[in-house]
Amino acid sequence: MVRGGPGRTPRILTVPTANGLLSFSNMDLHNAKTLFVYRAWELDLITRSMAYLKQEGLVGKPGRDVLVDVGANLGMICIAMLKLGHFREAIAIEPDPRNFALLKRNIEQNGLEGRIRALPFAVSDDSADVEFELSETNFGDHRVRARRAPGAAQLGEERRAVVSVPARPLDELLRQAGADLGSIGLVWIDIQGHEGQLFRGARDTLSHGAPLLTEFWPYGIRRSGLDRDTYAEIVRSRFAGFVIVDAATGRTEARDADAIAALFDAYPRPEQNLELIFLPRVG
């Protein structure tokens, strides 16, 4: 990707994509490389998920026109969602300083400064500074490092460089941003296994009934410090159920919240993950 990757000369590349006009680093050989080669990011997932949510009457309600994009990275999702007309405004939350600078740049060069608010935080269950481990080759795989993660690292995480970033609960961040929780139509989450902690710190947000779309990655959840049973109990206490979304085929499968523990056993390998829509308990 224009001679990118570790050991090469860092460059910022800017290309028109189906998600918007996006700038990214040639050091990122995953998200950015996909954007450079294919000029699109997760459009099938956006299309399939929004079609299902609209069909079920879960989005598109009057006054529910704000997207919350947690782990916004470069802004690929929130910018595309607004350009495609799915939402009127967005709140984009991204903790990595390099990604955040590019997120701000991408918002501006797509003319969305007045419609997307960018917040430089990690989202967790407590207000504190956290250790944030950085991937050299995949700038979408930076992660909050757990103080005590169960099991041994299998993907080389222990060798990563670490920076300190501020973390806040989602409820606190949205209050400080002046967001009307009743206007949130969807929460889109991509935070590499730290979702259970986000759920713990989002009680007020979830009580207003907005669905959440998130990656489900059993290995990443365990690396975040949560075991299967703890994560399953968080899900059962916060959500009425979930929907498995297969972006490639358009297949969707609804399940009760109690079924979440079984997915850990169904996806045991470190690289296995899938996309879920969680349906909150209201009130």
Residue 10, domain member (yes or no): no
Query: Is 5 part of any domain?
Result: no
For the cut 70, the answer to whether the pLDDT of residue 283 exceeds it is no
Q: What is the pLDDT of residues 178-236, one digit of tens each?
A: 999 999 999 999 999 999 999 999 999 999 999 999 999 999 999 999 999 999 999 99
219-231: b (≥16 Cβ within 10 Å) or e: bbbbbbbbebeeb
Over 70: is that where the pLDDT of 2 sits?
no
User: How far apart (Å, rounded) are the C-alpha atoms in residues 160 and 217?
Assistant: 20
Q: Is residue 100 part of a domain?
A: yes
- Whether the CB-CB separation of 205 and 185 falls below 8 Å is answered with no
Within a domain: residue 103?
yes
Place of tokens 């972006």: 247
Assess whether pLDDT exceeds 80 at residue 138: yes
pTM over 0.75, yes/no: yes
- Is 62 inside any structural domain? yes
CA distances from 228 to 52, 59, 221, 232, 272 (A): 28, 30, 8, 6, 15
- The per-residue pLDDT for 135 is 95
Predicted local confidence at residue 112, as pLDDT: 98
Q: How many domains, the chain?
A: 1
Mean pLDDT confidence for 265-271: 94
Q: What is the CATH number of the domain that holds 81?
A: 3.40.50.150
Per the domain annotation, does 28 fall within a domain? Answer: no
Cβ partners under 8 Å of residue 31, min gap 6: 24, 41, 73, 74, 76, 138, 139, 140
Give the rounded percent of residues in the chain with a pLDDT score beyond 90: 90
From CA 73, how far away is CA 153, in angstroms rounded?
Answer: 24
Query: Residue range 128-153: average pLDDT?
Result: 90
In a domain, 14, yes or no: no
pLDDT score for 5 = 74
The boundaries of the domain holding residue 185 are 41-280
d(CA 76, CA 81): 9
pLDDT score of 1 more than 80: no
Interior CA angle at 40 toward 39 and 42, to 5°?
160
90 forms bridges with which residues in the sheet?
67, 116
Split at pLDDT 50, 70, 90, the class of 3 is confident
Q: Is residue 143 part of a domain?
A: yes
Higher pLDDT among residues 281 and 130, named by residue: 130
Q: Give yes or no for residue 152 having a pLDDT over 90.
A: no
